Structure 1
Amino acid sequence: MDGTAPASPGAGFGPDLAEVFGPSQQHGGPELVQLLTPEGERVEHAEFRFDPGPGVAEDEAIRGLYRDMVLVRRIDTESTALQRHGELGIWAQLLGQEAAQVGAGRALRPQDFVFPTYREHGVAWCRGLDPLKLLGLFRGVDHGDWDPKDVNFGLYTIVIGAQTLHATGYAMGMQRDGVVGTGDPDRDAAVIAHFGDGASSQGDVNESFIFAASYNAPVVFFCQNNQWAISEPIERQTRIPLYQRALGFGFPGVRVDGNDVLATYAVTQAALQRAREGQGPTFVEAYTYRMGAHTTTDDPTRYRLSDDVESWKLRDPIARVEAYLKRNGLAEQSFFDAVATEADELGVRLREGCKALPDPQPLDVFDRVYAEMTPELEAQKAEYAAYLSSFEGAH
C-alpha cells in the first residue's frame, strides 16, 4: 500500500524463494510446476495445489475446466473457418494454449482486472465476454465492442507488449484507491497482464517490470511461452528460461506447465493472491506450444518441423483432463456428449451471429474517438460527409 518494495525478491511467495522454487527453478533444471501429467495422472507439488475454493467440489471444478477448454477450442476452430471463408479479416489462433488461458482466467476474482493481447480468447470466455464481441473486432466492423468495466477485461492490444505498461499503471492506481492489502477478500484486487514470449523482448515489457518492482505494484505478468514469436524461435530470444528474468528486476518468477490447466490455475491463483495482499508482482511463464499458426496469414510449415507439432499433440491440454476424468470415473459418457453438443451449438451461433453483424456506417469512424468531439475532428467528419454525398445519384 505504501509503494515500497518487499525486503527480498521472494518475500510473500511462500517461506523463501530458494526453498519454494528450489535449485532447479533458479538454475534451469526440471523446473515445470505440474499437477496433471500428459497421461492424465495427478502428481503432487511441494508448494502448489489445485484448490477451487470454498463450496466448490474439486471434481466438479475440473469438469468445469474441461468444458471451458472444449468450448474455447471450438471458438478458435470456428473463427479460423470463418476467416477461411472470407467472413473475418484475420484470426489469431490459440490452438494448444487452452489450459494456459482457462487456468489463468478461472483463477481470477470478479474485482481483478485483465489486460490482454489479441489472443486471449480463453480468458475473455472466462470473464463472461460474448465471443461474438471478439468476432466483430476481427471482422472489422468495430474496434472491440465491449465495455472493459463490464467484465474487468480490457480491449485487445495489437501493439506488442504495450498492455504490460497499461496493467502496471492500473495496478498502481489500485494501490492508491486502497483496494490492495486490506485483508478483505471481496475488496482486495490485482491485475494480470497477458503477453507472449515474443513480447518479452519488447522494451515496454521490461519497462513495466521496472515500474512494477519499484512501486511493488499488484500485477501478475503472465507470459504464454508458446515457443514461437511468429517465426522466431524462443532460443533466439533468450539464453535463460524466461521466468528467471524476473529475479533481475527484483520479484519472483515461476515456470508452469502451460498445458496443465490445474497447475496453471494453482500458480496463477497464488500469484494473484500475493499481489492482492500487497506483496508485489510475480512473473508466471506458462510453458506451452502454439499448435496452430500465429494468425491465419501465417504458414508455420515454412519455419518449424512437423515432428515438433506431433510431439506437442501428445501433451494436448484437453486430452489429459479427459483421460483423468475417465480413468478415475469422475465423468460419465453423457457428460462428454453434452459438452460436445454444447460446442456444436456454440459453433452454429458463432457462424450465424458473425454473418449477421451489421456493417458500420463510414462516418462512425469519427465517433467516440474523444469523450467530446473536437473542432478539428468535427471539421474532418463534415469534409468526409461532403465527399460521400458527392457520390449520391452517381451511376
Structure 2
Amino acid sequence: MSTDAHADRISDVSKKFGITPEDYMLPARHMINLLNPDGTLRPEDQQGTEPGHEYPLPSPARLLEAYSALVTGRRVNDQNSALVRQGRMAVYPSSHGQEACQVAASLCLGEGDWLFPTYRDTVAVLAKGVAPMEVMTSFRGEWHCGYDPKAYNCAPMSTPLTTQLLHAVGVAHAAKLRGEDTVVVAMCGDGATSEGDFHEALNFAAVFNLPVIFFVQNNKYAISVPLSQQSAAPSLAHKAVGYGMAGERVDGNDLMALMAIMTRAVRMAREGNGPLLIEAHTYRMQAHTNADDDKRYREDSEVQEWIAKDPVTRMKAYLDDAGLLSDETVAKITADAEAVAKTLRDGMNQEANTDPRELFEHVYSTKSPQLSEQQAMLVDELDREEA
C-alpha cells in the first residue's frame, strides 16, 4: 500500500465517525469504562467516550452469556491452581482477575474468525469452545498443544513471548489474499510489547491493512518487571499511532465495556478498516505461575486494591441490580462452572497414557527427511526395549 493510499484509508475511516484522522488514531482521552467497581452504570459523560467513539451497551442475553463464561473461567482458574498443588499439573499460569478480558476476546469473534492466545489465556480458549481437558493437556506435559487448532480456529497457547502475533498476522494476510471474511484477535501481555516481534507484527499488519485486533492485557507486570520499567509511553495504546493504526484503552475488569469495545473492533476490522490495538487495564491477582513468589516484587496493599475491582463481583452486582439474575439462572451458571471443574478433576486424576512415538506427529504438515530419520531411530530403540 502506498503512503497516499494508506493516508486515504485513515481519512476515509475517520470521516465515518466525523472526526479528524489524528483523533481517530489517538486513544480517547479517558479510558473506556461503562461500569463502576460496585457494578453501577457510569453516566454517559463519564464513560470515556468522545465523538466518533461510541460503544452501545451489549444486550442482556449477551451479558448473561459472557457472565456465565466469566464464572466458569474463575472456577477453572481456582480448580487448576488446586490441581497444581496436588501434583496433577506441572505448572499453571493463573489468569485470576483477568477473566473478563479473555471472555470478551473470544465471545466477540465470529464462527470463522481466529484467536491467537498466550499461555495465560486458558479462559479465552475455553470460551472459544475447546474442551476443558484438551485445553489443559499441555500444562501437564502430555501431548502437543492438546487440541486441533483448525477444528476451533484457535492457535496453540504460546509460551514464547509475542511469537504468536506474527502467526496471527500471517493468518490474516492469507485470509485477505483468499478473499475470506476473517478477523483475527492476537492476544499478548504488557511485557510482550517490549519484544521485537511486537513491532514487526504491528508494522506488517498496518502496512498491508490486515483485519487483526492486537489485544494487550496490561496486568502491570512482566513476571516481576513493572510496566514503568518497560515503557515510557503515555499508554501502550498510544504505540498504535506510530504504526498507522488506531489505539484504544479500556477497563479490563469491566466486562460490559470489553464486550462493547471488542464488538466494535471486530466489526471495524471486518469492514476493511485495518488493524487496531486495544489495551485492557487489568491485574494478575495471583503469582505469575506456581513457581513465582509475587511478594518479592509487589505489596499486598496493591493486590487488595485490585480485589475491590474484581470483574466477577462487578458484573454480578450489575446483573443483580438489573434484575437479570434469577435464582434459577444463578444455579445453572454455578452448576455449569462446577461441571467443567469436575471434568478437569476427573481427567487430571487419571494417569496419562503417553506414547513417545507421537512426538514426531504434527510438527510439520509434511515430515522432513531428518524428522523421519529421528522417528525411525526412536521407534527402533523402543521396539528393542519391548522385545
Whether TM exceeds 0.5 here: the answer is: yes
Which runs of structure 2 are paired with 1:39-188 in the superposition (5 Å)?
39-43=38-42, 44=44, 45=47, 46=49, 47-52=53-58, 58-179=59-180, 188=181
Once the 2 structures are TM-superposed, how far is the Cα of residue 359 of structure 1 from its aligned partner?
2.5
**Distance in 2 of aligned mates of 1:133 and 1:357:** 15
Q: Which residue of 1 is the match for residue 316 of structure 2? A: 322
Pick aligned residue for 2:333 from 335, 339, 346: 339
Aligned equivalent of 1:265? 259
Matched, 1:246 2:240: yes
- Deviation for aligned residue 1:391: 4.2
Check conservation: 1:114, 1:154, Cα contact below 8 A.
yes
- Greater mean alpha carbon deviation, residues 146-155 or residues 7-16: 7-16
Structure 1 residues 32, 41: CA separation in 2 closer, same or farther (over 3 Å shift)?
same
2:273 equivalent to 1:274: no
Counterparts of 1:329 and 1:103 in 2: how far apart (Å)? Answer: 22
Cα shift at 1:361 = 1.1
Deviation above 6 Å: which 4+ runs of structure 1?
none
The one-letter code sitting in structure 1 at the alignment partner of 2:118 is T
State the alpha-carbon separation in 1 of the partners of residues 350 and 97 from structure 2: 29
Task: Give the CA deviation at 1:121.
Answer: 1.6
Distance 1:10 1:255, change over 3 A: farther
TM-score (norm 2): 0.90
Secondary structure, aligned partner of 1:100: helix
Please, which of 192, 203, 208 is the counterpart of residue 210 of structure 1?
Answer: 203
**Aligned with 1:371 (options 336, 346, 365):** 365
Query: Superposition RMSD on alpha carbons, in Å?
Result: 2.2
Identity over aligned residues, as a percent?
35
The answer to whether the 8 A contact 2:115-2:184 is kept is yes
Aligned to 1:182: none
| Consecutive unaligned residues in structure 2, runs of 5 or more | none
Cα 1:366–1:111 shift into 2, 3 Å: closer
- Bigger mean CA offset, 365-374 vs 87-96: 365-374
Structure 1 window deviating more from structure 2 (145-154 vs 231-240): it is 145-154
- Structure with greater helix share of residues: 2
Task: Indicate if the aligned counterparts of 1:105 and 1:122 stay in contact, CA closer than 8 A.
Answer: no
Which amino acid in structure 1 is aligned with residue 316 of structure 2? Answer: E
Q: CA deviation at 1:145?
A: 2.4
Residue in structure 1 matching 2:290, options 296, 308, 311: 296
Structure-2 change in CA distance of 1:307 and 1:135 (3 Å): same
> Would you say how many aligned residue pairs link Structure 1 and Structure 2?
375
| Farther-moved stretch of structure 1 (8-17 vs 337-346) | 8-17
Q: Does 1:235 align with 2:236?
A: no
